[in-house]
């Protein structure tokens, strides 16, 4: 996609700072719970994770650290620490992130390289499906949402990047190595 059609950094930062991502808000914690519960189910405190695209309020990081988990956070605008992208992780959380990828192929390649063998990539996003009338779909109204996914998209990503499996449960997508 041409950069001409993509939001620039200023537009993205302005939009992201309007999100109310309060790490102490019980509703926000509940919202991210499909990811945190998935991580708690499959990994323990001895495993090391990454909250990729953690945003202005890294609630996944906070929730897991409160439970004794070792997790780094990274966000290109609000927690830009390139050194964490040089490590590998047992699990990676991407909550409301993949729809912002300007180059999904590049980003999924990066995420897979960041995973250790037998690692898992936990994603939350709204999936587009044929029952949705696109013109009425709220998710497309965010100008920073530049890429939308269907179940079949994630099957293609699994094959292209060599994940062993992809499991889709509502808004939670879990890739396994």
pLDDT digits (tens, 9 = 90+) for 13-61: 888 877 778 899 999 999 999 999 999 999 999 999 999 999 999 999 9
What share of the chain in percent tops pLDDT 70?
Answer: 99
Domain enclosing residue 68, as ranges: 3-159
pLDDT of residue 153: 97
Residues 6 or more apart in contact with residue 119 via CB below 8 angstroms:
88, 89, 90, 91, 92, 176, 177
Please give the tally of structural domains in the chain.
Answer: 1
Q: Indicate whether 30 belongs to any domain.
A: yes
Residue 100 is given by DSSP the state G
Looking up residue 133, the CATH number of its domain turns out to be: 3.40.50.150
- pTM of this structure: 0.95
Q: Indicate whether 42 belongs to any domain.
A: yes
Q: State the average pLDDT for the chain.
A: 94
Q: What is the SS3 assignment for 177?
A: coil
pLDDT of residue 1: 62
CB atoms within 10 A of CB 155: 12
């Amino acid at each position: 996609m041409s950069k001409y059609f993509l939001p620039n950094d200023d537009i993205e930062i302005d939009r992201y700072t309007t999100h109310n991502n309060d790490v102490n808000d019980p509703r926000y914690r509940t919202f991210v719970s499909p990811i945190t519960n998935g991580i708690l189910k499959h990994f323990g405190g001895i495993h090391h994770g990454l909250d990729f695209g953690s945003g202005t309020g890294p609630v996944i990081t906070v929730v897991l650290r409160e439970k004794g988990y070792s997790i780094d956070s990274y966000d290109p605008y609000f927690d830009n620490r390139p050194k964490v992208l040089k490590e590998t992780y047992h699990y990676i959380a991407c909550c409301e992130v993949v729809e912002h990828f300007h180059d999904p192929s590049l980003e999924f390649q990066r995420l897979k390289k960041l995973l250790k063998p037998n690692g898992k990539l936990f994603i939350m996003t709204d999936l587009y499906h044929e029952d949705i009338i696109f013109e009425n779909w709220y998710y497309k109204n965010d100008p920073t949402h530049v890429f939308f996914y269907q179940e079949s998209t994630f099957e293609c990503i699994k094959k292209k990047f060599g994940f062993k499996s992809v499991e889709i449960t509502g808004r939670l997508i879990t890739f396994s190595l």
